[in-house]
Structure 1
Amino acid sequence: MSRNLELHLKECEACSGTTAEWAELMGAEDLAVPFHESDVFGQELFRSRDMDGQQLGSTQPAGTEPAIRGAVQDQAPNDGPMPPDRLRRRLMRAAYIRSFRSKVRIRKHAAFQAISGALLILLIAGLFTLKGNDVQTQAAFEHTVSQRIADMQSDDTERYVIQPVEPFYGSGSVWLKRGSGEMLIVVNGLHSLQETDYQVWLQDEERLSSAGFMLVQGPQGKSYYYGVGAENAKRIVVSMEPKGGSRSPTGPEAVLVNMGP
């Protein structure tokens, strides 16, 4: 039978063309002449070509091949060869899989675009929220400082101007009430450092003592200190100390104010 098929394909241009076309569609490199007995696809191909119900096989009597070839050649030009049922199902399944994969890719792309858009919206909203929180915090700090300054205004309040000290260049004022010992320090332009505190020191005629820490708002903004116990202070020093402070001044002086004679 394999020999008959091989001879038929060599002599029949229509069958050879159809075989090559199906081989290209199926991507099968081995779907070409010569056929072998194990090539079920080739057998099914020529079963489908038998328009009169005749079967090609090793049991056919000699001389039947020319009759079959004549029947094939007598077909109308528009009667295209139809693949067997099994081959047709394979072709339809392959087309369905390609269509399904294409739809999946489109849906994945649309989902990715939707997720990206949502993340962008959330990012923008988060930035506006953070900016709004920073503005509110800064406004609250400014309000507190203004209120402290207003509370320190009285006839017995002493005010001293803070001169900028290199390399910090912080400027501001000190308000001191000798009677109650209240003191307010407001400085503009001090840098907020992560591992550093601005520690306030009060010096009188006998000793130098720590009074607390400046509250600094923003990387280079307004800072202030409010406390009591400065009745006898002759000098104010604000030094940069390690986080948590020191027992005595160890860092450079950011603010220096003389208040005594």
Structure 2
Amino acid sequence: MVSTAGFGTYGVWRGAAALDADFARGVERLGFGTLWVGGSPGGDLGIVEELLDATERIVVATGIVNIWKDDARSIARSARRIEERHPGRFVLGIGSGHREATPHRVRPLAALTAYLDVLDAEGVGRDRRLLAALGDRTLTLAAERSLGAHPYLTVPAHTRHARGVLDAARPGALLAPELKVVISDDQEHARAVARRYLRRYFSLENYVGALRRFGVGEAAFADGGSDELIDLVAANPTAGAAVAGLRAHLDAGADHVAAQALGDDPLGALEQLAEALTLTR
């Protein structure tokens, strides 16, 4: 079992396709508590097992498995296999993805509930899973049926609101948002890196809608995102700015924040971030 405290205060988020054993060992060496496997990893969760095999203590969590991509029973079998091999170090994060990418995505809340019912029946209980969540109903479900919520591409105002929703459903539920960081000698270069990465996400209505609901105006999305928006969701260009961005979510009520380092040298950026956070001391 992984407790909410077991995640540590700071983690690292990276797409499954860009992860390997060396990266995982580097993240553990730097003192981060959790490595988040993004991009809906394959149903056998082989990459999760590879990362756990390569490390000794770090928690590995999926951020997230798409419920429309792999059925709950096959995912449960993979989760049980990994738990048996690495007890207490794996958390299964699931989510309903995006309407634009999944045409058959209908009634996502009901689908998530049904998926959780199967996980219960298959022995992957509440203390071994969490949910991607942006809206209030999904946040409530996350609190009631899992360790908590893992929101992606949000702002501190959303974190503050989410804390209240989670606590109303179940005080103490985990809130673990993600924040992109870009460390560079040149802020304009850092912003350009972030804009290239965010282009696809700014075409997805669930993310854009959540940002609008929490203070981002329509004009801010023009031309790849205003400087103010980019700086808010992809803290840059210094390690100090990244630390401030992470701590803004903690101050708003997050228990844990996952840093996603963008750019050509993510481990180098994470090393600077770990030093600024004093994780390596």
TM-score by length of 1: 0.18
Report which of the two has the higher share of helix: 2
The TM-score with structure 2 as length reference comes to 0.17
More RCO (CA 8 Å, sep 6+): 2
